[in-house]
A and B are shown apart, each in its own frame.
Chain A
Amino acid sequence: MTDNIIEIKDLHVTFEVRKKLTKKEKEAGIGNAVRAVDGVDLEFRRGEIMAVVGESGCGKTTLGKSILQLNRPSSGSIVYNGRDMGSLSKSELKELRSKLQMVFQDPYESLNPRQNVYQTLMEPLKIHRKDMPQEEKDKLIYDMMEKVGLKPVDIMSQRYPHHLSGGQRQRLAIAATMILKPEFVVADEPVSMLDVSIRAEIVRLLLDLQKSNDITYMFITHDLSLAWVLADRIAVFYLGKLMELGPADQVVHQSAHPYTSALVSVIPKVETEADDKKHVLEGETPSPLDMPEGCRFHTRCWYYKENGCPSVCREKQPELVDFGEGHCAACHFAKEVKELSK
């Protein structure tokens, strides 16, 4: 048995949409519930970096928030260190919150403009470390600032968010996340708003903190090449379902799902070789209110189109199949696609 910090079983998160349906829409099978996460099984191994990749609306952020209990799952379970989070009382949950933290995408909106750096970092300690003496709290704050590179500490601690650059803000947001020594951190596109040269520094910081504190990361990103460099494993989502999961290198270089291989093919390259075929998918992701039958990807799938539109794709939802080494894909033709990707 591997040591799993979090185990997600058959998780569904549904959002009701307030919308009156016409008779025609009802007949066409359009519902008024968005299935943002639609039956996901996933486990996080202690100390790993799991990158969760997919386009907007694929449910990656909803999944992250559900793990932190910021969203209420409709069904299924999330087990953290052997305890089912759904069965916890409010006070037990509060205690857990300090162990499970989140870094948000936008450092311009995730910080309170009325709190300076010191106050921002004091806030979580006030709530979760009530009994800690003041000097200890101060030491913790200044040590943390030092660690994330908000220096010189005495000057920076009095600064307000509007004094800080985007990179510095994200450093502060990370410091506020890490000050409670969490075990599991959801990083939701933590660098997508930052410039390239700053981006790499923030990622480096996240990696350093992970190593020294043994943190498990769920790294949400739309950037597959970044996921490939950082992560131990990559999970690819499409319309609320897990499409492919496996070791980072295998997912990128031996993609077994046509969706993943399409995502890999559109990563810009300087030299495009003649046999480098791009699979630019046509159209846009279908509405989650009107999910396609069978495999939900078949309406945009290049493999489906190139191979005479096999009926199985329209009729049967594919199961997540394991190829060994923990590389899984939910596609009826996963073996063939994997061969093609090699």
Chain B
Amino acid sequence: MKILDIKDLSIEFKSKAGMVHAVQNVNLWLNEGEILGVAGESGCGKTTTTLAIPRLLPKNAVITGGEILFNGEDLAAKSEKEMEAIRWKDIAVVFQGAMNALNPLKTIGNQMMEPILLHEEGVSKAEAEARVKELLEQVGIAGHRFNNYPHEFSGGMKQRVMIAMALVCRPKIIIADEPVTALDVMIQAQILELLKKLTKEYKLSMIMISHDLSVLSELCDRMAIMYAGRVVEFGDAKDVFKNPKHEYTDKLIHSLPDISGDRVFTGGIPGYPPSLIEPPAHCPFYDRCERRDDSCLGDFNFTEITPGHWTGCIHHR
């Protein structure tokens, strides 16, 4: 069952050089209880798309079209006041860069209790404290560290705190924006195991943003690949990884070294993504694609080619 349905979403940013079409006609949905991965490189619109869901976009961003349906209601049309009731309570966010997302002047415990006391009337401070301590234990931090300040924690522990904090109001959906980037490999593995465990225990649905395809392929049920403001491929995570149906996905996967494969180094993808001020109407990967021909110059067409597997490439294998 779809818990969240993004339909034809377009987002633009105002800039001095003109409107930047950061997200163009994106269609995505999140099923209940699944982990959806959104992958792509800097500037592809993955963070913009997902942060539009709790409406946490910067001031110069405008949603110019489309719907974000949650429980049958369109979040894109809601006022700031209405959104305040939904954020944290229904949809929580684990931000990138845990080191900077915590307030250095407040104890971990006080910061974590804040959303409970704000959103849930009738919950006493003692109850909130008990809930926070239990959550800290869940993410592997001793409850007595409730009164510590952020500087007393390591990077990995701060990221655990951020995850616990997202769970504090028992949300239905978690959006995790690059939750393991900038952490050491071993700590990364720990955090990923933790996320897996928590989604099961708390029956969460999660959207995970990452530029690291290999991390997503292991953790996610389904995966969306974004490029230059568009979703170019969408489907079952293992299927997308093993049988990529868009040339960009294929190239991206092959840019990663694979220790179970041959020890050869494949070069990257020459060239740069197109300017988003005047984005092309055709496939955005056209300029860098080796398989391009004149038939690619038609309007970008995102279609389902096998059940549940969507692509915007007409040369799909």
Q: Judge whether A284 and B211 touch: CB under 8 Å.
A: no
B264 touches which of A56, A199, A229, A282 (Cβ 8 Å): A229
For the complex, is A252 an interface residue (Cβ under 8 Å from B)? Answer: yes
- Chain A contacts for B241, CB-based, 8 A: 270
For the complex, is B266 an interface residue (Cβ under 8 Å from A)? Answer: yes
- Chain A contacts for B42, CB-based, 8 A: 166, 195
Q: Judge whether A270 and B242 touch: CB under 8 Å.
A: yes
For the complex, is B270 an interface residue (Cβ under 8 Å from A)? Answer: yes
Instruction: Indicate whether A197 sits within 8 Å of B255 (C-beta atoms), given known contacts A229-B263, A269-B260.
Output: yes
A197 touches which of B154, B184, B251, B264 (Cβ 8 Å): B251
B-binding segment of A33-41, A71-79, A259-267, A319-327: A259-267
Bound complex: CA of A166 vs CA of B186, how far in Å?
A: 27
For B, the interface residue count at a CB cutoff of 8 angstroms equals 41
For the complex, is B269 an interface residue (Cβ under 8 Å from A)? Answer: yes
For the complex, is A274 an interface residue (Cβ under 8 Å from B)? Answer: no
For the complex, is B289 an interface residue (Cβ under 8 Å from A)? Answer: no
Q: Judge whether A281 and B255 touch: CB under 8 Å.
A: no
- Chain B contacts for A223, CB-based, 8 A: 185
B-binding segment of A150-158, A200-208, A288-296: A200-208
For the complex, is B214 an interface residue (Cβ under 8 Å from A)? Answer: yes
For the complex, is B217 an interface residue (Cβ under 8 Å from A)? Answer: yes
Bound complex: CA of A249 vs CA of B193, how far in Å?
A: 27
Q: What 1/0 mask marks residues of chain A from 219 to 256 whose CB sits below 8 Å from any chain B CB?
A: 00011111011100000000000000000110011000
Question: Chain A nearest CB: distance from B154 CB in Å?
Answer: 6
Instruction: Indicate whether A207 sits within 8 Å of B251 (C-beta atoms), given known contacts A195-B41, A263-B186, A270-B241.
Output: no
Question: Chain B nearest CB: distance from A276 CB in Å?
Answer: 10
Question: Chain A nearest CB: distance from B100 CB in Å?
Answer: 16
Question: Chain A nearest CB: distance from B156 CB in Å?
Answer: 6
Bound complex: CA of A200 vs CA of B266, how far in Å?
A: 7
A200 touches which of B188, B218, B219, B267 (Cβ 8 Å): B267
Q: Which of B89-126 contact A (CB under 8 A)?
A: none
Interface centre among B213, B215, B263, B266 (most CB of A within 10 A): B263
- Chain A contacts for B272, CB-based, 8 A: 165
- Chain B contacts for A207, CB-based, 8 A: 265
- Chain A contacts for B242, CB-based, 8 A: 270
For the complex, is A43 an interface residue (Cβ under 8 Å from B)? Answer: no
For the complex, is A48 an interface residue (Cβ under 8 Å from B)? Answer: no
A249 touches which of B189, B212, B263 (Cβ 8 Å): B263
Closest to A259 in B: B186
Instruction: Indicate whether A196 sits within 8 Å of B218 (C-beta atoms), given known contacts A252-B259, A281-B186.
Output: no
Instruction: Indicate whether A196 sits within 8 Å of B259 (C-beta atoms), given known contacts A204-B267, A268-B215, A268-B217.
Output: no
A196 touches which of B211, B219, B260 (Cβ 8 Å): B211
Q: Judge whether B259 and A201 touch: CB under 8 Å.
A: no
For the complex, is A280 an interface residue (Cβ under 8 Å from B)? Answer: yes
B268 touches which of A204, A228, A267 (Cβ 8 Å): A204
Closest to A263 in B: B185
Bound complex: CA of A186 vs CA of B268, how far in Å?
A: 22
B187 touches which of A204, A228, A253, A284 (Cβ 8 Å): A284
Q: Judge whether B185 and A222 touch: CB under 8 Å.
A: yes
Q: Judge whether A196 and B257 touch: CB under 8 Å.
A: no
For the complex, is B287 an interface residue (Cβ under 8 Å from A)? Answer: no
Q: Judge whether A266 and B268 touch: CB under 8 Å.
A: no
For the complex, is B258 an interface residue (Cβ under 8 Å from A)? Answer: yes
Q: Judge whether A264 and B259 touch: CB under 8 Å.
A: yes
- Chain B contacts for A252, CB-based, 8 A: 259
Instruction: Indicate whether A198 sits within 8 Å of B268 (C-beta atoms), given known contacts A224-B185, A280-B190, A281-B186.
Output: yes
Bound complex: CA of A266 vs CA of B219, how far in Å?
A: 12
Q: Judge whether A280 and B255 touch: CB under 8 Å.
A: no
Bound complex: CA of A202 vs CA of B268, how far in Å?
A: 8
Bound complex: CA of A253 vs CA of B197, how far in Å?
A: 29
Bound complex: CA of A10 vs CA of B268, how far in Å?
A: 39
For the complex, is B256 an interface residue (Cβ under 8 Å from A)? Answer: yes
Q: Judge whether B186 and A201 touch: CB under 8 Å.
A: no
For the complex, is A94 an interface residue (Cβ under 8 Å from B)? Answer: no
B252 touches which of A196, A263, A282 (Cβ 8 Å): A196
Bound complex: CA of A225 vs CA of B184, how far in Å?
A: 14
Q: Judge whether A204 and B265 touch: CB under 8 Å.
A: yes
Q: Which of B183-228 contact A (CB under 8 A)?
A: 184-190, 193, 211-215, 217-219
For the complex, is A55 an interface residue (Cβ under 8 Å from B)? Answer: yes
Q: Judge whether B269 and A197 touch: CB under 8 Å.
A: yes
Question: Chain B nearest CB: distance from A179 CB in Å?
Answer: 23
For the complex, is B238 an interface residue (Cβ under 8 Å from A)? Answer: yes
Instruction: Indicate whether A267 sits within 8 Å of B259 (C-beta atoms), given known contacts A197-B252, A280-B186.
Output: yes
Q: Judge whether B186 and A266 touch: CB under 8 Å.
A: yes
Q: Judge whether A228 and B251 touch: CB under 8 Å.
A: no
Instruction: Indicate whether A199 sits within 8 Å of B189 (C-beta atoms), given known contacts A204-B265, A268-B217, A284-B154.
Output: no
**8 smallest A-B Cβ distances: which pairs?**
A200-B268, A266-B189, A201-B268, A197-B269, A195-B41, A229-B257, A268-B214, A268-B218
Q: Which A residues contact B (CB, under 8 angstroms)?
A: 55-56, 165-166, 195-204, 207, 222-226, 228-230, 248-249, 252-253, 262-264, 266-272, 278, 280-282, 284
Q: Which B residues contact A (CB, under 8 angstroms)?
A: 41-42, 154, 156-157, 184-190, 193, 211-215, 217-219, 238, 241-242, 251-252, 255-260, 263-270, 272
